[in-house]
């Protein structure tokens, strides 16, 4: 591999939704990138699409390894061959409901995988890390917007893994001050790459709002269940901070820059959100407008554990990372629809699994 800025970044989970978009931006920015992914929630086609999007030349700066973070040898093999300047760590499981039903699987993937990664990074003296955290660590926030120094709280086993992994990062950095660790707390990532070649491709019935709406729009699902229409909000539906996945990808580049340029950074958290709240009904309307498709809805009771209104304070990321989200809900829906209409079955070219 040989690129313009000569830094090499290991991206764990780089074949996944946020990973693919971030890898594209890293390659466009001149980094060498090495992905490790076990395809637990992704497919090789996603890596092929990354190469299509960046073109043959930048593609030379991308390496892919099929491997599992729970298997330390897979990590040893990578680190013994390549000197990584930093790691962006996406690999993990993220479905709240599944984590309640099967917490051991979540502790295995998220905790063991990440602990292995820290051990091998330390052994090979790679001590710069960008970690995928989540707004879930704010639990049911008492006030909004969520500010990074709020009290943290886990609502379910998935959230507990993110909370523990934040604590683990803080402990490691405190004991070994040469580590620099940035914890990125994502709000609600949606949208897709503007090419329509990369996007979110969940297995089975989607848990999250936008992939569900998308599958209704292409005829894979009959209607959207709206969970809760009696919230104390402007239209009765719950409010979230949706962020375009390309903005999120750029947030990772800003975080890397911060890691490489700041002495004594320590371990610090940043929200990646837009700072704006949008209701479920508003998202439905925006998607209908972008797609020209009617999304039939069914009003359902609230989903247990859901917060009424969550959105980010964006001040810290703006001030310290020099990063701010550029896209609004209109662009999120436009790009998500472009992905959906070109890939109604996701990366699988023909029919449902
Ligand atoms: P994703 O499932 O699309 O991507 C995760 C990738 O990691 C997948 O390609 C999967 O195959 C891989 N992976 C999982 N376990 C692995 C292991 N043990 N070894 C190697 N590869 C493994 O998810 P995403 O939406 O891209 O999320 C990325 C990260 O961001 C996750 O850590 C997630 O918890 C976090 N996050 C996501 C959201 C969201 O709504 N998408 C919100 C907040 C935080
Ligand atoms: N919703 C519906 N119908 C659906 C799916 C969702 O009405 O079919 C509603 C939910 O009730 C909620 C809103 O749409 O009010 C957003 O729901 P998502 O599941 O898309 O997102 P959440 O904010 O509930 O959770 C997401 C991730 C979590 C993460 C959290 C904070 O799924 O993993 O953001 O980052 F913890």
What value does the CA radius of gyration of the chain take, rounded to a whole number of Å?
19
Average pLDDT over residues 275-302: 98
Q: How far apart are CA 306 and CA 120, in angstroms?
A: 37
The fold of the 8-194+242-275+311-326 domain, in CATH, is: Rossmann fold (3.40.50)
**Catalytic residue flag (residue 158):** yes
Predicted local confidence at residue 2, as pLDDT? 47
pLDDT score for 6: 87
Give the contacts of 132 (CB within 8 A, at least 6 positions apart): 13, 18, 89, 90, 92, 184, 186
Asked whether residue 4 carries a pLDDT value surpassing 80, the answer given is no
Q: Which atom of ligand 2 is nearest to the CA of 206?
A: 8
Could you give the angle at which helices 72-81 and 113-123 cross, rounded to 10 degrees?
30
| Alpha-carbon gap, residue 206 to 218, rounded angstroms | 14
Q: List, for residues 56-92, the tens digit of each pLDDT value.
A: 999 999 999 999 999 999 999 999 999 999 999 999 9
239 closest CA partner among 270, 207, 211, 274: 274
Q: 341 CA distance to ligand 1 centroid (A)?
A: 24
Residue with tokens 């008492």: 142
Q: Tens digits of per-residue pLDDT, 141-175?
A: 999 999 999 999 999 999 999 999 999 999 999 99
Q: How far is the CA of 139 from the centre of ligand 2 (A)?
A: 13
Indicate the top mutation candidate among 90, 107, 161 to test ligand 1's pocket, ranked by most ligand atoms within 8 A of CB: 90
Position in ligand 1 atom list of the atom nearest CA 135? 43
Task: Check residue 351 and give its pLDDT.
Answer: 44
Residue 306, ligand 2, Cβ within 6 A: yes
Token output for 144: 């909004």
DSSP-derived secondary structure letter, 87: E
The closest ligand to the CA of 184 turns out to be 1
Atom 33, ligand 1: residue with shortest CA distance: 94
The rounded percent of the chain whose pLDDT value lies above 70 is 97
Mean pLDDT for 90-102 is 96
Q: Considering every ligand atom, which ligand is closest to the CA of 281?
A: 2
Tokens describing residue 5: 């800025």
| Dihedral (CA of 283, 284, 290, 291) sign | positive
CA distances from 266 to 129, 130, 169, 183, 248 (A): 11, 12, 10, 11, 22
Pick the atom of ligand 2 nearest to 94's CA.
33
Instruction: Report the candidate in 178, 80, 76, 155 with the shortest Cα–Cα distance to residue 119.
Output: 76
Look at residue 190 and tell me whether its pLDDT is greater than 90.
yes
Protein residue with least CA distance to atom 35, ligand 2 = 135
End-to-end CA distance of the chain: 35
Report the 10 Å Cβ neighbour count for 104.
9
Per annotation, catalytic residue among 138, 158, 231, 270: 158
Substitution site in 135, 240, 277, 304 for ligand 2 pocket (most atoms within 8 Å of beta carbon): 240
Q: Is 226 in the pocket of ligand 2 (CB under 6 A)?
A: yes
Distances (CA, A) of 269 to 106, 144, 244, 276: 22, 17, 20, 19
Q: Which atom, in ligand 2's list, is nearest to the CA of 300?
A: 7
Please check whether residue 51 is in contact with residue 78, taking contact to mean a CB–CB distance below 8 angstroms.
no
Give the closest residue (by CA) to ligand 2 atom 16.
209
Cα–Cα distance for residue pair 352/203, rounded to 1 Å: 10
What confidence score (pLDDT) does residue 5 get? 74
Count other C-beta atoms under 10 Å from residue 83's C-beta.
10
Residue 182: Cβ-neighbour burial (10 angstroms; 0-12, 13-18, 19+) = buried
């Amino acid at each position: 591999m040989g690129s313009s800025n000569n830094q090499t970044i290991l991206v764990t989970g780089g074949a996944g939704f946020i990973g693919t978009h971030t890898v594209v931006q890293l390659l466009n920015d001149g980094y060498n990138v090495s992905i490790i992914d076990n395809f637990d929630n992704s497919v090789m086609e996603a890596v092929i699409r990354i190469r299509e999007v960046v073109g043959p030349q930048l593609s030379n700066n991308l390496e892919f390894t099929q491997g599992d973070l729970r298997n330390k040898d897979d990590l040893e093999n990578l680190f013994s061959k390549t000197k990584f300047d930093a790691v962006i760590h996406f690999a993990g499981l993220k479905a709240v409901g599944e984590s309640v039903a099967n917490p051991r699987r979540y502790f295995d993937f998220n905790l063991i995988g990440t602990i292995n990664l820290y051990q091998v990074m330390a052994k090979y003296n790679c001590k710069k890390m960008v970690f995928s955290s989540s707004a879930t660590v704010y639990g049911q926030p008492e006030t909004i917007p969520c500010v990074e120094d709020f009290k943290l709280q886990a609502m379910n086993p998935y959230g507990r893994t993110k909370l523990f992994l934040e604590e683990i990062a803080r402990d490691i950095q405190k004991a070994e001050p040469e580590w620099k660790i940035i914890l990125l707390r994502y709000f609600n990532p949606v949208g897709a790459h503007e090419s329509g070649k990369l996007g979110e491709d969940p297995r089975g019935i989607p848990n999250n709002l936008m992939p569900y709406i998308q599958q209704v729009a292409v005829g894979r699902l009959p209607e959207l269940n709206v969970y809760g229409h009696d919230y104390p909000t402007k239209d009765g539906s719950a409010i979230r901070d949706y962020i375009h996945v390309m903005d999120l990808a750029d947030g990772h580049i800003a975080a890397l820059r911060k890691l490489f340029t700041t002495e004594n950074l320590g371990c610090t958290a940043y929200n990646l959100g837009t700072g704006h709240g949008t209701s479920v009904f508003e998202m439905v309307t925006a998607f209908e407008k972008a797609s020209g498709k009617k999304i039939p809805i069914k009003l359902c009771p609230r989903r247990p554990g859901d917060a009424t209104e969550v959105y980010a304070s964006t001040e810290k990321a703006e001030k310290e990372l020099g990063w701010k989200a550029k896209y609004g809900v209109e662009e999120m829906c436009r790009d998500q629809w472009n992905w959906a209409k070109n890939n109604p079955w996701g990366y699988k070219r023909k029919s449902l699994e």
